[in-house]
Structures are given as C-alpha cells and as structure tokens.
Structure 1
Amino acid sequence: MIDTRTAPYAALILRLALGILFLAHAGLKIFVFTPAGTAGFFGSIGLPGWLAYVTIAWELVGALALILGLWPRIAALALIPILVGAIVTVHGPAGFFFTNPNGGWEYLALWIVGLLAVALIGDGALALKPTSAGAARRG
C-alpha cells in the first residue's frame, strides 16, 4: 500500500538525488575532462564530437528540471536516452559490473530504473511546474 502522506517526499528525494547525479556527471565533463576533451572522446568511439556538447547541455537542463521540479516526469524520461547511449557505446561492452575496466552497465541500469520510478510515481513534493499525468503518458 502507498502511504500518500509520505510518497510525495520519497519522489522529491529521488528527484533530487537523480538531479544531483546528473549535475555531477555534467560537471565531470566540463571541469575534469573539459568539453573539448569530452568531444574528443566521443570522436574516439565513433560519435560526432558535437554530440558531447549536446549531451552536456542535456544533462545540465535535465538535472535542473529534476532538482527544481520543472516537468520532472518528462525530464526523467528525456534523460534516459543519455544513459542508454552510454550503455550501448561504452559501458555495455565492459560487462555488467561497474568495477570492470571502463565500467560496466549496472550503475547506469539502476539510474534508468530511478528515472522510470520518477516518471511513474509523479513529480513529488515542492515541484515548481508539475507535469500533468496526461503529458507524462504522452511524453
């Protein structure tokens, strides 16, 4: 049974955690690897370099949408392709465990499950621009 008194706060906690993770990963690409270095890595695995800049922007916008609660159900669904792309291009071939060389895909799969949970459970408490249920089903 769902506790309707606390469920919105559980969704808020999950939304904040996922948003902070995306901020951290965007920050890694900006401040550690640098955007140019990230673009070079994308090129080295056969992706266009410009896609690195799109990915960084997508992560930043998605992170802020989750943290602030700006259409968070749609934002959660929109962030899944980034993780699927990381699994397909880099982490999938490395195997399941994230401790494998080049990191496996277990962590990214869990992250996808968290995003799906946000999309299903709803916006949560303190969302600035809640998503209508119909928009989340269409989005």
Structure 2
Amino acid sequence: MIDLKFAPYGAALLRVTTGLLFLYHGLVKLFVFTPAGTAGFFDSIGLPGWVAYLTILAEVGGGLALVLGIATQLVSLVLVPVLLGAALFAHRGAGFGWSNPGGGMEYPLMWAAAQAALALIGGGAWQLYPLGRK
C-alpha cells in the first residue's frame, strides 16, 4: 500500500538527493578530472572519448533538473542508461561491492533503479515544472 499523504514527499526526497549526487559527480568530472581527463578515462575503458562530454552534460544538467523538479520523469528516464553504462563499463571490473577498490557495480545499479522508480512515480512535491499531471 502507498501512503498517498506522504508519498509526494518521499519522491521529492529521492529526486533531490539523487539530483545532488548527479550534480556532485558531474562537477567532479568537470573541475577535478577535467573534461579532457574524463575523456581519456573513457577511452581507456573502451568508450569513445566524446561520450565523456555527454556524461558530464547529463550529470550536471540532469542533476540540476532533478533538484529543481524540471521534467523529472523524462530526466530520470534519460539518466538510467547513463548509470547502466557506468555500472557496465566503469565499475564492472571492480566486481559487485561498492567498497571494492575502484568501486563496484552495486552503487550505479541501485542508483539506476532509483531513477527508474522516479521515472515511474514522478518527482513528488515542490517541483518547478513537472511533466503531465502533478
């Protein structure tokens, strides 16, 4: 059973939390690793370097959109493949456990499931621009 009184606040908590995490990860790629360094890493794991730039854009733009509640369901749906790519390409070699050296697949897979849930249920309370019905 879903508690309809509190569900919008739970969805908002999930939306803002994951949005802040996306924003953090994207800004680390932008300002710490740099776009060129991130592209080099992507090349080293068998992905085209240009995918790094799309990933940074998805993480920063998607993170901001989630925090603000702009088109949450669409943004969350777009971010699922980004997370699956992180799990399968960047973290697969480290195994399943997130605490493994290099970080395992567990965290991005759980995060992909959270984004899929947001795509299904919506962003909850306090959205600036929800798609469809509120």
Q: TM-score, normalised by structure 1?
A: 0.90
1:93 partner SS = helix
The answer to whether residue 97 in structure 2 is matched with residue 97 in structure 1 is yes
Other-structure match for 1:129: 129
TM-superposition CA deviations, 1:64-116 (whole Å, max 9, x none): 11111111011111001111111111211221101112211111111112111
Q: TM-score, normalised by structure 2?
A: 0.93
2:102 partner SS = coil
CA RMSD of the aligned region, Å? 1.2
Mapped to 1, the partners of 2:16 and 2:53 lie a distance apart of 23
Instruction: Indicate if the aligned counterparts of 1:83 and 1:112 stay in contact, CA closer than 8 A.
Output: yes
Deviation of 1:123 (Å): 2.2
Other-structure match for 2:110: 110
Aligned residues: 133
Question: Percent of aligned pairs with the same residue?
Answer: 53
Other-structure match for 2:59: 59
User: Amino acid of the residue matched to residue 81 of structure 2?
Assistant: P
Deviation of 1:33 (Å): 0.8
Instruction: Indicate if the aligned counterparts of 2:87 and 2:105 stay in contact, CA closer than 8 A.
Output: yes
Other-structure match for 2:73: 73
User: Amino acid of the residue matched to residue 52 of structure 1?
Assistant: A
1:76-87 maps to which residues of 2 (within 5 A)?
Answer: 76-87=76-87
Question: Which consecutive unaligned segments of at least 5 residues does structure 1 have?
Answer: 134-139
Segments of 4+ moved more than 2 angstroms: none
Mapped to 2, the partners of 1:50 and 1:112 lie a distance apart of 22
